[in-house]
Amino acid sequence: MRSLSSLCVAALLGLAAVGPVQAADLAFAVGSTGESTLAYRLGLQCDFQRNFSESATGRFTGYWDTAYTYWQGDETASNHSLSLAPVFVYEFAGETIKPYVEAGIGVAFFSDTELEGNNLGSSFQFEDRLGFGVRFNGQQIGVRALHYSNAGLSSNNDGVENYSLHYAMTF
């Protein structure tokens, strides 16, 4: 548990080093893997505070995502992970409802290398994501596919996918 706390502190310090943050979203997600492992995720999303491109169609921007995930399955008692990822977003123009698509690649640290019979090979994993949803009135709701893998850094690399529904609100 001490190493998990250290990782959380390191992730928060890394996020703070990015620069001043003007807006943040508190995010909640619930999902499942192909092996029926439930995943509950609590995260903080901090905007890049910049648009890379903007047109009448929409804008290309992004955010930093740091999260804690609790993995609950049938075969293992539990697993925990901490993650940090830059996420790039294309938000379509709209008056009050703005559809978006997102993609990102970050890192995650698991408390155990086993997850529902999958041998992750190491606690260190890469986190890849694809998602889409809508933003409205300082809130967002959407779906995501997350893939965790050590990219062959270990001889065991079963990896795991998580499909989730997420909700975030600006505070």
Tell which phi-psi region holds residue 5, choosing left (phi > 0), alpha (psi between -120 and 50) or beta.
Answer: alpha
Q: Which of 35, 114, 147, 154 is catalytic?
A: 147
Query: What is the Cα–Cα distance from 152 to 157, expressed in whole angstroms?
Result: 6
Pairing of strands 118-119, 53-54: unpaired
Q: Any alpha helices (H) in the chain, and if so which ranges?
A: 2-16
The verdict on whether 80 is a catalytic residue reads no
The verdict on whether 95 is a catalytic residue reads no
Q: Which of 81, 83, 149, 164 is catalytic?
A: 149
Q: Which backbone phi and psi does 10 adopt, to 5 degrees?
A: -60, -40
The verdict on whether 166 is a catalytic residue reads no
> Which residues contact residue 137 at a Cβ distance below 8 angstroms, ignoring those fewer than 6 apart?
96
Query: What is the Cα–Cα distance from 56 to 24, expressed in whole angstroms?
Result: 25
Q: Are 75 and 102 in contact (CB under 8 A)?
A: no
Q: Tell me the residue type at 68.
A: Y
> Which residues contact residue 152 at a Cβ distance below 8 angstroms, ignoring those fewer than 6 apart?
none
Please give the positions annotated as active site.
147, 149, 161
